[in-house]
Amino acid sequence: MSQTNYWTGKNVLITGINGFIGGNLAMACLRKGANITGIIRNIKKNTILFYGGMADKVNIIQGDITDKDLMRRIIVEEQINCCFHLAAQVEVGVARDYPYLTWETNVRGTYALLEAVRENREKVQAVITASSDKAYGSYDRDKLPYVEDYPLIPIYPYDVSKACADMISRSYASDLYDLPIIITRFCNIYGPGQLNFSALIPDAIRSALGYSTFIPRGNGLHIRDYIYIDDVVDLYMLFAERLSADSKLKGEIFNVGTNQPMTVKDIVKKIYGMLGKDILYAEVEKLWADRQTVGEISSQYMSYDKLNRYFGWKPQIDFDTGLYKTIEWFKKYFLMRYGN
C-alpha cells in the first residue's frame, strides 16, 4: 500500500517504539530504508523490537516523552522528517487505578512532543497521532458504529486521556499553529508480537496453549472490533506519505476498524476452537457468569467509510486469517521461550 521509495533516507521518530505497534512499525520503516529514532522510558527486552532483532538497527534514546527539552533535542539533532506518536499508557485497568500517571503520559506527553515540533518545524513533514476509539466514550448501541464527527464524551480515565490527546493534536493542526498532523482512532489491534498479556487475544492464546490460566476480567459480553497489525502499519505509513504530499489532510481524523463487532466471549471461544481446545473452553465458559466489568465501555466499533472515501482503503486481513497467523506466531514464541 505504501510507496517503496518515499521512506529511503527519511528520518523517523517513533514514540512508543518498544510497544507492539511501534516495534512493528519500526521494522516496516527500516525495511523501506528509513532511519529510525525511538524514545523508550524503560528498556524492556521482552518486546517485538528486541525479539525481532531490530533493536540494534534503530537509534534508541532513553527518556520520558513528557520531557519537552528532550523532545526538542531529538527533533533538531536527528533532523526528524516524520513522527509517529504512539507512546501511551494503554492499559485500561492501570488507568482506572492510577489516573494521574495515565494523564501525565498520555496528555502531557502529547503536548510536550507537539510543542517541541512547533518550535522546530522546519524539516517535519508529517506527525501521526494515535488517538483511540475509546476517545468517543460510551454511545447507545443504536448509534454505533462511531463516525468521525461524533462528539467525544469520555468518562473513564483512559478514555479521557485519549480524548485530550486527540483534541490537543487538533489544536496544533489548526490554522493557529498549522502543524501537519493526522489523528487516527483505531479499534483494538492484534497480531504477532503483542507481548502485553494484559491484552485479550495474547492472554487467551497463552492460556489455550496451556502456559497460563485464563481469568476473565468481565462478563464476556462487551463488544469490540479488532484489526490486524499489518493493516495498521500499512495505514500509518500511508498517512505519513499522503500528508507529506497534501497539506489539505492537515487536521483530519480517521477512524480505523473493520466494522465487524464481536463479543469478548466469542473471541475467546474462537481462539480455543482454533487450537482444538473446546473442552478447555467449556471450563472458561463457567467463569464468565460470576464476573462484572467495571470502568470499561460496553460496546465499541467504528465505521471506516471516511477512510475508504479518501484513500480507497478497506481491511486486507479478515479476523480468522489474522487470528490464525497470530496463533502460529505465538506457538513458535512459546516453544522458543519454554522449550515445550
Q: Would you please indicate which residues are annotated as catalytic (active-site) residues?
A: 158
Q: Measuring CA to CA, which residue among 296, 289, 104 is closest to residue 200?
A: 296
Q: How many CA atoms lie within 13 A of 175 on its CB side?
A: 0
Cα of 222 vs its chain's centroid, Å: 19
Report the alpha-carbon distance of residue 97 to residue 209 in Å, rounded: 30
Query: Helix (H, G, I), strand (E, B), or coil: what is residue 59?
Result: strand
Residue count of the chain: 340
Residue where the block lists cell 464481536: 262
Residue where the block lists cell 528532550: 70
Q: Measuring CA to CA, which residue among 253, 65, 63 is closest to residue 167?
A: 253
Backbone angles phi, psi at 234, to 5 degrees: -60, -40
- The CA dihedral of 123, 124, 126, 129, to the nearest 10 degrees, is 170
Q: Measuring CA to CA, which residue among 46, 169, 38 is closest to residue 114?
A: 169
Task: Look up residue 104 and give its DSSP letter.
Answer: I
Between the alpha carbon of residue 253 and those of residues 27, 218, 221, 223, 306, the distances in Å are: 25, 31, 29, 23, 9
For residue 55, give the amino acid letter. A
